Chain A
Amino acid sequence: MFMTDPNDSLIEVDDQIIDLRNRPLAALLAWLVPGAGHFYQRRHAKGTIYFASIVLTWVLGFSLGGYHVVYASWQNGDKRWHYFLQSGMGIAALPAIAQANHLRDFTDPRTGWTRDDYKPRWGGFMAPPHRPVFDESTDEVSAWYARYGAGYEMGTWFTMIAGLLNILVIYDAYAGPLGIPISGRRRDGDSAVKNNLDGVARDGPAATP
């Protein structure tokens, strides 16, 4: 990868000149929807690959786990650290925050028990389990495990991996491909490429295939 200036949005990778455009905005879009940052940068092929790979992994995991594997919780007995990784999916994981806040409004802070009049929003989509959750006894989480078996575990892993993969995608939208491509053509100091980039900076990028 060759970049003329740290503030420059033009890079050269695999003999292609790429305009990363507004890089922070591209990174934000990439976080919100996998591949959206790349579509904004007109890197349509990569945007499509990212969107398809990550969203399908997420959807598959979500369905394997009975639609209960993504929720936000940091209570005793139910510290859902997985959500930190799942939140890499951006907008797809955000309903869990709203559901967690909603549940908190219906949970007695002194006893830690959810009130009987609690009804989760949106049919329970990404809703945390009723409180309390115990490590050693039956509760809503153990019921999900019993019902979905290995699917609950695999669904949790799939959704976490989808979130982690999207972090790579966010970096790619912000800074371009990682490291030196295995095509092996490192172009630092290559005057022909530099002249090409200077020309693109002056005249605008040519259409890439």
Chain B
Amino acid sequence: MLSISPTYLFYYVPLVIAISLVYGGTRHENLRLILLHAGYTAYWITGFMGMIFLLLLVLGWFV
């Protein structure tokens, strides 16, 4: 299914953590709100990437 090693997907983890925390930090001052926003951002990015993955997977079946 994947043309690359699944271990490459682990590159995504530190990246999404860093991006989410910085993004949350640039929207709030309250630490709790920063972490909430970061969690939501990580969830949103992961969901979006997952949908793109599924779309490419489905397209791959037809090509």
B11 touches A53 (CB 8 A): no
A49 touches B28 (CB 8 A): no
Compute how far the CA of A43 lies from the CA of B29 in the bound complex, rounded to whole angstroms: 8
B11 touches A154 (CB 8 A): yes
CB neighbours (8 Å) of B33 from chain A are 14, 181-183
Compute how far the CA of A43 lies from the CA of B26 in the bound complex, rounded to whole angstroms: 12
B30 touches A57 (CB 8 A): no
Interchain CB contact (< 8 A) of B15 among A43, A158, A183: A158
B26 touches A168 (CB 8 A): yes
A168 touches B29 (CB 8 A): no
Q: B1-43 interface mask toward A, CB cutoff 8 Å, 1 = contact, 0 = none?
A: 0001000100100110111011101111111011001000000
**A contacts with B: majority SS:** helix
Interface size range of chain A in the complex = 20 to 34
Compute how far the CA of A208 lies from the CA of B29 in the bound complex, rounded to whole angstroms: 10
With A60-B14, A181-B33 as contacts: A50 and B28 at CB distance below 8 Å: no
A171 touches B26 (CB 8 A): yes
Interchain CB contact (< 8 A) of A14 among B15, B21, B23, B28: B28
A178 touches B27 (CB 8 A): yes
B21 touches A18 (CB 8 A): no
Which residues, 79 to 112 on A, are CB-close (under 8 Å) to B?
A: none
Residue A21 interfacial (CB < 8 Å): no
Which residues, 47 to 85 on A, are CB-close (under 8 Å) to B?
A: 49-50, 53-54, 56-57, 60
Interchain CB contact (< 8 A) of B25 among A16, A60, A154, A172: A172
Interchain CB contact (< 8 A) of B29 among A53, A165, A177, A182: A177
Interchain CB contact (< 8 A) of A150 among B8, B15, B28: B8
Residue A161 interfacial (CB < 8 Å): yes
Residue A13 interfacial (CB < 8 Å): yes
Compute how far the CA of A16 lies from the CA of B33 in the bound complex, rounded to whole angstroms: 12
Closest CB in chain A relative to B30 CB, distance in Å? 4
In the complex, the chain B residue whose C-beta lies closest to that of A53 is: B18
Binding site for B on A (CB under 8 A): 13-16, 18, 43, 45-46, 49-50, 53-54, 56-57, 60, 150, 154, 158, 161-162, 165, 168-169, 171-172, 176-179, 181-183, 208
The 3 A-B residue pairs with the shortest CB-CB distance, nearest first, are: A14-B30, A53-B18, A13-B29
